[in-house]
């Protein structure tokens, strides 16, 4: 596609339920990132995929969070047993090769609300 696509754009769920957020990066981009933007907190790095390398999971806040990237393209971020503090905008970004000076292209995000 022309840009990074995320779905759904909005998700409302009940506390304790599991949710899956999807990211479709720009075709041909090998690097994919997930960030979280909480109210008043700014952007927080979650996880980074680069090609076939093991992902950098250092930003995942707890073991309830996991992410996969199948076939080096689409990625799914899964949050199990959601809590109210998980409410945030989840942003996905991609870049061509993950290089130091490469531009990141961001999706429009998924607004997650945990009631």
State the Cα–Cα distance between residues 41 and 46, nearest whole angstrom.
Answer: 14
Return the exposure string of 77-108: e unless at least 16 CB atoms fall within 10 Å of the residue's CB, then b.
Answer: bebeebeeebbbbbbbbbbeebeeeeeebebe
Binding region for other proteins (CB under 8 A) out of 17-25, 61-69, 73-81, 88-96 = 88-96
C-beta of residue 93 within 8 angstroms of C-beta of residue 107: yes
Using the minimum distance from each CB to other proteins, give the nearer residue, 91 or 114.
Answer: 91
Segment 17-76, which members bind other proteins (CB under 8 A)?
Answer: 31, 33, 35, 37, 40-45, 48, 50, 56, 59
Please report how close the Cβ of residue 20 comes to other proteins at its closest, in angstroms: 20
C-beta of residue 110 within 8 angstroms of C-beta of residue 10: yes
| Interface contacts to other proteins, rule CB under 8 A | 3-4, 31, 33, 35, 37, 40-45, 48, 50, 56, 59, 91, 93, 95, 98-104, 106-109
């Amino acid at each position: 596609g022309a840009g990074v696509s995320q779905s759904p754009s909005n998700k409302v769920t009940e506390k304790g339920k599991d949710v899956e957020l999807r990211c479709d990066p720009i075709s041909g981009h090998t690097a994919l990132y997930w960030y979280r933007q909480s109210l008043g907190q700014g952007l927080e790095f979650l996880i980074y995929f680069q090609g076939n390398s093991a992902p950098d999971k250092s930003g995942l806040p707890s073991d309830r969070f996991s992410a996969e990237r199948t076939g080096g393209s689409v990625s799914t971020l899964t949050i199990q047993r959601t809590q109210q503090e998980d409410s945030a905008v989840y942003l996905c970004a991609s870049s061509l090769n993950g290089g130091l000076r490469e531009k990141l292209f961001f999706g429009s995000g998924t607004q997650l609300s945990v009631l």
